[in-house]
Amino acid sequence: DIVVELIGGCGVARELVLKAIENGKHVVTANKALLALHGNEIFAAAQKQGVMVAFEAAVAGGIPIIKALREGLTANRIEWIAGIINGTTNFILSEMRDKGLAFDTVLKEAQRLGYAEADPTFDIEGIDAAHKLTIMAAIGFGIPMQFDKAYTEGISKLTRDDIRYAEQLGYRIKLLGITRRAANGIELRVHPTLIPARRLIANVEGVMNAVLVKGDAVGATL
């Protein structure tokens, strides 16, 4: 009675998922691009058919952030979400800082270790993080999936000098996905960010992910 969607391509995956929903099947997917691009259509179809679409693994791997936003923090008015939500770029930035290596050198190592794909564009240009941020913003703020509205900037232009100068000033550079309430709507952006080195999230290294959520009742939680 449950369809587990394992196909990477969004077009084929969309058709598979919508067909399963039409047939009254619950769906489990880890395809963040599918949800960011076609989530509005998929969730509307699921609601109409009375079936579930489960997608915890679509954002931040093993971190139960989807469940936390939907259930654990449900009594809060979410004010903002900021996270390291792409392990590949976090690994690259960590290695550049720790070993003083150039971006291209560390990227090749990430590919050798299996952290980065042969075509790493989605990771290093921030697209993967923007997919995940789109999903979190939709849950946190009750808005439609709006991937096309996300400002997206990756790390491919960063140099080891950038990393070194940030360190000298007491900062670390992380690729963050940030979404927050603003005066005229919801901000949705992914870009390299200077974080004070003493902050806990600045010390999340390697392929690890971390998500900060600020709620009006609970405050900031990591």
Distance of alpha carbon 99 from the chain centroid: 26
| Residues paired with residue 195 on neighbouring β-strands, in sequence order | 172
Question: Of 25, 48, 99, 132, which residue is the catalytic one?
Answer: 132
Report DSSP letters for 41-84, one per residue: HHHHHHHHHT--EE-GGGSSTTS-HHHIIIIITTTS-EEEEEEE
Query: Is-catalytic flag, 67?
Result: no
Interatomic CA distance for residues 24 and 113, integer angstroms: 40
Contact (CB, 8 A) for 49 and 70: no
**Token pair recorded at residue 81:** 């979400």
Residues in the chain, overall count: 222
Task: Collect all residues with Cβ–Cβ distance below 8 Å to 211 and sequence separation of at least 6.
Answer: 60, 63, 65, 81, 82, 83, 84, 85, 136, 222
Strand 171-182 relative to strand 78-84, pairing: antiparallel
Give the residue numbers marked as catalytic: 132
